[in-house]
Structure 1
Amino acid sequence: MAGNGSLIHVAQGTDGTIRVAAGSPVLTHGDVDAVGPDFARSVLDVAGAVLVWPVLGEPGPPVAEVHDVQRAQQWLWAVYGEPTAAAVHACAAGQGEVSPVPAQLGALADAAARLGFAHWAARWWPTSYTDGIAVLEPDVLGLEAAALTHWCQQLFDDFGDQPDDCVPELIEEHRAGLGPLIQWWLSAPQPADTGRHLENVLRLIDDAADTAGLDGPSLRELRSALERGLVRTPVDAGALFARRDGYALAAGDAPVSGGRVVARGSGTNDWRRYPPGFVDAAEDAVSWTARALGARRRIEVEVVAHVAAPVAGAPLVAEVRVNGGPPSHVPLARRDDVWTGRADLDLSVYLDLPTTTPPPVEVGVLLPGFDPGAGPPGRADRDAVRALARRRLAAAARPVTSDDAYHTVSAPLLAETIAATATSEDY
């Protein structure tokens, strides 16, 4: 398994939390930023702990922040190996930092990393029409996350404080994807390993639904299909999952040109400031134009929309700062494939500037109430995430030659396999 041969360091912090990490022990206890910004790490809430993996770089053992050792003992040995479980127990018993122990990663470690990545992809996958990164079909992604969660039940317990232990909710939310998944599997697609991957996911969903007492036409269809087996009917997977929502006009006035252009430029597209599915992930998705209309100054903002962006009811705004002044919020409305908005600027920000000098303008996009606040620039990290998505889509277009490969984090998810066949017209 990936990461075997690593040394695991176990130490207790001043708050009593025990940190489990591979590699150098010099990282500050509790410093999850050492694993990267939030959009560059995957996270799982598990029994008695939080597990964190870097999405960028080589796969390896997760960093664990253990806050309840007794609950965590049910999975520590299966993820890191018996020596690590014993070291955590010794640390909790008051021995402080214990000697590094060898990692002995099992199948649960790989499955947990894969589940963490599925949750990451649902939140951070950099879908972009302009960058050519296809959208991941949300129902397919959600159903595979449900299957992986069921497979990883050893990570969870019945305390109810683990939001990632949500198999029934995931199945219910993404039932619409079951029919197309069943049709895809029944078609016996080539290469055959994709069919095995599909069957594994569907059987896990069936077992999870049965365990949770779920029922309904799509789940009964699933049980029937699994009982009768393949019928080998040719089908185009891309057509099964083709998006049909398209774009629609949103309420709000269309931008009105006119006036003298004072300045124009690109804004900052900080993925952390809005929920998934709102804005195209391209770095230049946010653009603005400042105009002079007599004594007035107006800012016009355009933001490329995500293909799944809501048409109405989403109070997305542009945050505008002029000449380092206080932020102004410009409401945005979705019109076709862009969010647009405009507002007059406060004339006072120009008083100390020569009239021929355009003021510095900073523009970002956010959702009030969701926005954690502007973070560090992050451009290099966002570029690295885009590169990762492109590599994974390229790999998903190639057949996987081993059943075991589907249990590793580097192997494609079903949603990635579908996205790899997409064209620009599909998203």
Structure 2
Amino acid sequence: MPERRCAVTRVEDGTVRIAGPSAGPAFTRAVLDVAGAVLTWPVLGPTGLPAAEIHDAGQAQQWLWAVYGERVAAAVDAVASGPPAAELTPPGRPTALAEGAARLALGHWAARWWPTSYLDGIPALEPDVLGLELAALTNECQQLLDESVELEGFELLEEHLAALDPLIRWRQSADPPRLLDRVLRLIDDAADHAGLDGEALRRLRSALHQDHGPTATPLDLAELFRRHQGFALAAGALRTANSRVIARGSGTNDWCRYPPGFVDAAENAVSWTAYALGADRRIEVEVVADIAAPLSGVRLAAEVHVDGGPPNRFPLARRDDVWTGRANLDSPASTTPSLEVGILLPGFDPGPGADDRAAREAVRALARHRLDVATAPHDSEAAHPEPFLAEIAAAAAAEEDF
């Protein structure tokens, strides 16, 4: 088997790269801001050492050796001020810090890109449970981080404390996951490091110190972490009387064009219908909302191209469990228009990307696989990669909710 090599290069602006940037759309990359650099792992490929974009080689030296090994750390230092490139052999296996960083990055990916879909049967991850585990992982990876990112970890802990009591109850149940005790101890350590206190944290410390072990009482995770789905898909469009349908279809659901929690992640979540009203033409767009979508104050927009022409945007309002809106079409009455429909959040949208349907389907397959792993016995080889606590809870609730 050929020896794996690692390229370290300096680009024109002085940034030092290890192994180069990862390809693919944003939702296929797990990214972590660290001291002096940004690390990137492919979500859909094998997890190994990350690619790195190092903008402060001196600051990055606090962790480079512990992630890539001493030879790579020395090469980065040399390339930052000397020859613009080096090639060498990195460690054969990721270090403990590299594995922890990869898991933290994947957790942040799940918080941003997890493909929650009622239509596809992929349950949401409980944000408070995931947030607490991210706080625990941030504390574990503090060697990598600068003060601002460490502070974000403390803020995560404070923001998601609502899940702490349910996690304590889970730990005391008949069959807690092997990961749970370690996460809770990291949370306790992070709270101590941040100087946080409160009833929930005091109950955690008491439970960890007593440590009577699990009880024989089974626990209903679906009830413990229940999120009210509230789905009863709205029927009927905004169709106007005396109109006739001339075309209908599905639009593009580009995950990159709106924030998380706005739209069901299914490929067919965006649908449209074109009507004729005498000589006029009108389009109505419906988008299945995510369970966390805001009810008011924010409006998505539909972007419609007619016969390949310039985009026409119009607002979509939340109505029950759909975003919906309508607009007139600039289209001759004598023809059936060719329509391309997308959705976006104005002010957030980076612009339309490439056709990433295959990548989105691969992410859905990854989510289903991780949920399957989350239901495997704790001692099974299938339990690798180890699921997040939020994935275990979501998998336990999936049958009932979907």
Say whether the fold is shared (TM-score over 0.5). yes
CA distance in 2, matches of 1:292, 1:397: 51
What TM-score, normalized by structure 1, do the two folds share? 0.87
2:309 matches 1:331: no
Alignment check: 8 A CA contact 1:47 1:156 kept: yes
1:283 paired residue number: 267
- Describe the SS at the equivalent of 1:301: strand
Alignment check: 8 A CA contact 2:6 2:90 kept: yes
2:30 matches 1:47: no
The Cα of 1:35 is off from its aligned counterpart by 2.7
Count of equivalent residues: 395
Alignment check: 8 A CA contact 2:299 2:318 kept: no
CA offsets, 1:347-391, max 9 Å, x none? Answer: xx32xxx71x31111111111111111000111111111111111
- Structure 1 window deviating more from structure 2 (240-249 vs 367-376): it is 240-249
- The letter of the residue matching 2:343 is V
2:14 paired residue number: 16
- Structure 1 window deviating more from structure 2 (379-388 vs 323-332): it is 323-332
CA distance in 1, matches of 2:233, 2:90: 58
The Cα of 1:425 is off from its aligned counterpart by 4.7
Alignment check: 8 A CA contact 1:48 1:71 kept: yes
Aligned partner of 1:256 among 230, 239, 253: 239
The Cα of 1:204 is off from its aligned counterpart by 0.5
CA distance in 2, matches of 1:320, 1:20: 41
Aligned partner of 2:378 among 382, 397, 400: 400
Matches within 5 A, 1:146-295: 146-158=135-147, 160=148, 162=149, 166-189=152-175, 194=177, 196-229=178-211, 230=213, 232=215, 233-244=217-228, 246=230, 255-258=238-241, 259-295=243-279
2:98 matches 1:109: yes
2:124 paired residue number: 135
2:359 matches 1:381: yes
- Describe the SS at the equivalent of 2:180: helix
Alignment check: 8 A CA contact 1:242 1:426 kept: no
Question: Could you say if the C-alpha distance between residues 43 and 208 of structure 1 is closer, same or farther in structure 2, counting changes exceeding 3 Å?
Answer: same
CA offsets, 1:314-350, max 9 Å, x none? Answer: 211111121222222222122222211112223xx32
Q: Which runs of 5+ in 1 are unaligned?
A: 22-28
Alignment check: 8 A CA contact 1:249 1:311 kept: no
CA offsets, 1:210-260, max 9 Å, x none? Answer: 11111222222211221222351432112101112625999xx97235411
Q: Percent identity?
A: 62
- Structure 1 window deviating more from structure 2 (281-290 vs 104-113): it is 104-113
Matches within 5 A, 1:337-356: 337-346=321-330, 349-350=331-332, 355=334
- The letter of the residue matching 1:314 is V
Matches within 5 A, 1:67-86: 67-86=55-74
1:421 paired residue number: 396
- Describe the SS at the equivalent of 2:276: strand
Alignment check: 8 A CA contact 2:221 2:397 kept: no
2:5 paired residue number: 7
2:340 paired residue number: 362
What TM-score, normalized by structure 2, do the two folds share? 0.92
CA distance in 2, matches of 1:89, 1:54: 25
2:53 matches 1:65: yes
The Cα of 1:424 is off from its aligned counterpart by 5.5
Alignment check: 8 A CA contact 1:156 1:165 kept: no
CA distance in 2, matches of 1:186, 1:313: 41
The Cα of 1:179 is off from its aligned counterpart by 1.6
CA offsets, 1:107-129, max 9 Å, x none? Answer: 00111000000000000011111
CA offsets, 1:124-157, max 9 Å, x none? Answer: 0111111111111111111111100100000012
1:26 paired residue number: none
Alignment check: 8 A CA contact 2:28 2:43 kept: yes
2:93 matches 1:118: no
2:297 matches 1:302: no
Question: Could you say if the C-alpha distance between residues 122 and 47 of structure 1 is closer, same or farther in structure 2, counting changes exceeding 3 Å?
Answer: same
CA offsets, 1:254-283, max 9 Å, x none? Answer: 723541111110000000000001101111
- The letter of the residue matching 1:256 is R
Question: Could you say if the C-alpha distance between residues 41 and 379 of structure 1 is closer, same or farther in structure 2, counting changes exceeding 3 Å?
Answer: same
CA distance in 2, matches of 1:124, 1:387: 13
Alignment check: 8 A CA contact 2:5 2:87 kept: no
